[in-house]
Amino acid sequence: MCDNDVSGSLCLAGARLVLADRVALGSVTIEDGLITEICEGDAIPDGAIDCAGDYVLPGLVELHTDNVERHIEPRPEVDWPHLPALLAHDAELASTGITTVFDAMRVGSIHSGKGRYIDYARRLADELLAARAEGLFKISHFLHLRAEICSETLLEELAGFRPEDRIGIVSLMDHTPGQRQFRDLSALKTYVAKKRGMNDAEFADHVENLLGLQERFGAKHEAGAVIEAARLGAVLASHDDTTAGHVTRSAQNGVGFAEFPTTVEAAEACRSHGIAVMMGAPNLIRGGSHSGNVAAEDLARRDLLDIVSSDYVPSALLLAAFRLAVIWDDLPRAMATVTRNPAEAARLDDRGVLECGMRGDVLRVRPVGATPLLRGVWSQGQKIG
């Protein structure tokens, strides 16, 4: 299992290796969990797996997925046992080629009204870390705390986490109605009405409550979350930046990457400030945002896209990378958006590229038309899919 018994040797040969700067025919050897040799050429060593021209590329690195929340609450107000949910989540990601994940968990709750959100992250994190320690997971798990600025209990919940909790990312999430992702209130109404079953009056009360929370806690929560991210040793991310002003504030806070900027203006400002831009794979595959924000493809064609996240569809990550390869006519550059670039953004220097000394997280992929067919997944050289 991942991060435990990684002894043994694996050689994948006869493959089109997706290296950092080119695609080359060759082989990759993994011993005791690490890449130990990369050879170019068509030789098939004894005992090697002949990949017959399939691509071999690094395992995918996912920085922001809501998938674990979907498993612990498969329907609104339906609580699912956490360990089975975590194991199903882990297996699903492994089956899509994701070998490193930052599991997003909301911190910051609202305890009143129909729009309430109850604390759950600390308990779920404990269960996830215990399962990892027992070697129950196929892939490598870190934590991503989604710090809800517009809430009642953000700083109290953040205080319950420790630097040893494998918290790699803290993102500043401001879902105040009328700005950022929900500057169009009709989009917010559609979202919460479907998820929470609110009528018009209940939605109006919900909006009024959120606006009040922003007024009371917004500045305090944002400043406190920045301090807590530093205490936890986590990378700080922004979320749904819309204006150049938002990005300036993100830069002042020390943000390392921007999740899902909603406009070209914000993405261009990120580039000016040296902040990496992350967009959602579903946006890229669908040809646009489901909530009316900027299209990921538009940013890609403007050279304003650095990282791709599966967001709410794990299988979209690999598919999006191959879609980008067509847009850019550059497979190594496209694959970097789901491997090397997210690893670097999360300060992981041991994965994300096929190089000697790196973790033996690799995929075998065969294109079928425009669709990448995943034919093998290895985590630290161990077959997991």
* Half-sphere exposure of residue 230: CA atoms within 13 angstroms, side-chain side: 8
Identical fold for domains 1-58+353-385 and 60-350, yes or no, is no
User: Which contiguous run of DSSP H or E holds residue 37?
Assistant: strand 34-40
β-strand 371-379 against 382-383: which pairing, if any?
A: antiparallel
User: What CA–CA distance (Å, rounded) separates 49 from 212?
Assistant: 61
Task: Give the pLDDT score at 118.
Answer: 77
10 and 38 in contact (C-beta within 8 Å)? no
User: What CA–CA distance (Å, rounded) separates 376 from 366?
Assistant: 10
Task: Give the pLDDT score at 183.
Answer: 62
DSSP string, 158-192: HTT--GGG-EEEEEEE---TTSGGGSSHHHHHHHH
- Extract the tokens encoding 117: 């959100």
Low-confidence ranges of the chain (pLDDT < 50): 1-2
Residue 320 DSSP SS3: helix
Nearest residue to 182 (alpha-carbon basis) of 159, 203, 155: 203
User: Which contiguous run of DSSP H or E holds residue 258?
Assistant: strand 257-259
Task: Give the pLDDT score at 381.
Answer: 97
Task: Give the pLDDT score at 182.
Answer: 64
β-strand 362-368 against 55-58: which pairing, if any?
A: antiparallel
Task: Give the pLDDT score at 193.
Answer: 62
The conformation of residue 276, written as its DSSP 8-state character, comes to: E
Task: Give the pLDDT score at 1.
Answer: 38
- Extract the tokens encoding 381: 């050289």
Residue ranges covered by each domain of the chain? 1-58+353-385, 60-350
Q: Any idea which fold 60-350 has?
A: TIM Barrel (3.20.20)
User: What CA–CA distance (Å, rounded) separates 56 from 17?
Assistant: 5
CATH number at 1-58+353-385:
2.30.40.10
- Extract the tokens encoding 259: 């999740």
β-sheet bridge partners, residue 171: 146, 237
Radius of gyration in angstroms for the set of CA atoms belonging to the chain, rounded to a whole number: 21
